Chains A and B, each alone.
Chain A
Amino acid sequence: MKKMWRSAVAALAVGLMTFFAAGCSQNPANPVKPAKPVQQEQKVSKVKHTIYRATDKASQKLTPVEIEIDSSEKNPCLAVLKRLVEKAPKDETTFPKGLKVKGVTVKGNLATVDVSREFTSRRHNDYDNTMMIYAIVDTLTEFKDIKKVTFTVEGKKLEVLGQMDMSEPFTRDEVFIKKK
């Protein structure tokens, strides 16, 4: 009986954490300091997220892909973007080689994504630039509190990338997503 209670509480905790994760709030001051036996029971729970990959070469559009990240991730936005960008399949050309996501901060409904300098390495490839940007923007706006996304390169504001004006935030654009 006692055991059942404990697992119910654990399940509730996981549920709550999932809720927080889906909201993409950063919680550095999370006071959860689980004692060892509790940790054993909680295991590592996972949260589902949708990311957008250009896996479908024929349609030249982004396809939704389901991934799972640890519910204990302090910054789920960063974890999801790292999966999208740094763990892309080898034959996917959405992101330049070596591109790293260095950080994601959220203020209100605006997410600021800090990326490494490879971000600007294909500045004349207008097609690649738009796919890269909208793969990130459409993935991040899956988090329900994020409506706008802006980019910095190594911490610095970006004015222009190729033909694109980068001075104002991007909003979700589903024209790049494959219709089901």
Chain B
Amino acid sequence: MLKKIFLISCCLMAFLGASLAQAAPRITKVAYGVSPDRQLRVVMETTSPARMSSEFLERELRVTVNAKLNPRINKLYVPKNAPYVNKVILEPQGSETIVRVLMKKKLSSSEYKTFNLKRDTVNKRPTRSVIDVVGGPAKKTFTPKKRSTERKPWRPSTAGSGYSVVGGISGKRITLDPGHGGTDPGTHGLVTGVYEKNITLPISMKVKKYLEEKGAIVYMTRTTDVDVYGPDATDVQELQARVDVAEDNKSDMFLSLHINASVNTSVGGYSTYYHPKTKYDIQVAQCIQDELLKTGNLEDLGVRYANFYVNKHSTMPGALVEMLFLTNRREEKLLTNNWFQNKIARAIADGVEDFYNQHRGG
């Protein structure tokens, strides 16, 4: 009798186990990165959404992911730019994986977070489980060790700066700067988790195409997912590197393209920022904003003055465009839509053309 019960329960367990294993997510890839503000990020790509639970001991963060680790994945990672972190160890435990982040200092609960990212159909990324841990003092944000030597002090426009606004768009040299890239993802969408850097790039490439169709010569600060200065740059170096591309190409115009974000998820709309270093900056911003507002029933946050680094430190007319909000559900949907990306790109190119049309005669 007892034997029989034992047998039945064995079968039942085997059955349950089999069905669980079938549904259980698997970790197919693990990537690591340290952001300029020294956040260590562990991204685990999974076959289906996984659950995470975390606990932290004195000097260790332990995250249990209910996903089976692909045995081919390297189980040890020693970060280079995260002085607080000794190493990260992945421990397979049946259908689960324990991620152990060994710290050199005591952790507090505000110094790490775990979150899941949904499947991203635009950028063809699978579901992901992410762990962010403080990797070092967030020094870079406010104390770059040495000022970038190539940094140019800000000066108001000087006559003969080299740019031209007359004669229409044909032959104009325009530098486009897709915001963020590489180790700096920018903000991210709350529904799909898509990064700002992965939206600014395709839109900028589309703007490039439309501007070239109108006869402009277009330069890009980046055409792939990279840091423009390098992965270990200070914020100032990274931004100056973008300005340098515009300067080195003797550009007539410099546009930086970004997506906005707010903790207040109901905020949305377009805004275009300028720094009045030349008398043309505000006109460029206005022309672009006017065209953007024709893309749909979207909020007009206006043309605004701002101290944005790239606008202030470049010598040619330009603007920084905040193309909607990734933190707004409706706008995130639009931004991840190829058709709408084209619409935004065309509006920006039309705005630039308008600006040059207004100055046709000089």
Which A residues form the contact surface with B (CB < 8 A)? Answer: 57, 60, 93, 96, 117, 120, 122-128, 130, 153, 156-161, 163-166, 168, 170, 173, 175
Contact = CB atoms under 8 A, between A and B. Distances in A.
B312 A165 contact: yes
B154 interface: yes
Given A120-B142, A126-B260, A163 B267 contact: no
Interface string B130-160: 0000000010011110000000001000000
Contacts of A60: 267, 269, 299, 301
B312 to A, nearest CB: 5
A159 B269 CA distance: 28
Contact of A165 (B142, B187, B313, B325): B313
A114 B248 CA distance: 37
A127 B261 contact: yes
B231 interface: no
A161 to B, nearest CB: 8
A56 to B, nearest CB: 12
A96 B310 CA distance: 25
Nearest to B313: A165
Contacts of A128: 261-264
A93 B262 contact: yes
B84 to A, nearest CB: 15
A128 B187 CA distance: 12
A123 B269 CA distance: 19
B308 A165 contact: yes
Given A127-B322, A170-B307, 17 more contacts: A60-B267, A93-B263, A93-B264, A117-B138, A120-B142, A124-B196, A126-B322, A127-B325, A128-B262, A130-B304, A157-B142, A157-B143, A159-B142, A160-B236, A163-B239, A163-B256, A175-B305
Given A168-B154, A168-B307, A173-B305, A125 B187 contact: yes
Interface string B277-300: 000000000000000000000010
Contacts of A166: 307
Contact of A160 (B186, B239, B261): B239
A126 B264 CA distance: 12
B309 interface: yes
A122 B327 CA distance: 13
Interface residues of B, number: 42
Contact of B320 (A120, A122, A157, A163): A163
A60 B312 CA distance: 25
A164 B138 contact: no
A160 B184 CA distance: 14
B264 A158 contact: no
B322 A124 contact: no
A57 B264 contact: yes
A124 B185 CA distance: 9
Nearest to B299: A60
A159 B307 contact: no
Contacts of B267: 60, 127
Interface string B32-57: 00000100000000000000000000
A62 B314 CA distance: 30
A151 B253 CA distance: 31
B331 to A, nearest CB: 12
B262 A158 contact: no
A93 B263 CA distance: 6
B313 A124 contact: no
B206 interface: no
15 contacts: A125-B261, A126-B261, A127-B260, A128-B262, A156-B143, A158-B142, A159-B144, A159-B234, A159-B236, A160-B309, A163-B256, A165-B154, A165-B313, A168-B307, A175-B302
B26 interface: no
Interface string B230-243: 00001110010000
A166 B235 CA distance: 12
A57 B266 contact: yes
Contacts of B309: 160, 163-165
Contacts of A130: 304, 306
A117 B256 CA distance: 27
B222 interface: no
A117 B142 CA distance: 10
Contacts of B271: 127
B138 A120 contact: yes
Contact of B141 (A96, A123, A173): A123
A73 B237 CA distance: 42
Q: Which 10 A-B pairs have the closest CB atoms?
A: A124-B187, A160-B235, A93-B263, A165-B309, A125-B261, A158-B142, A93-B264, A127-B262, A163-B308, A120-B141
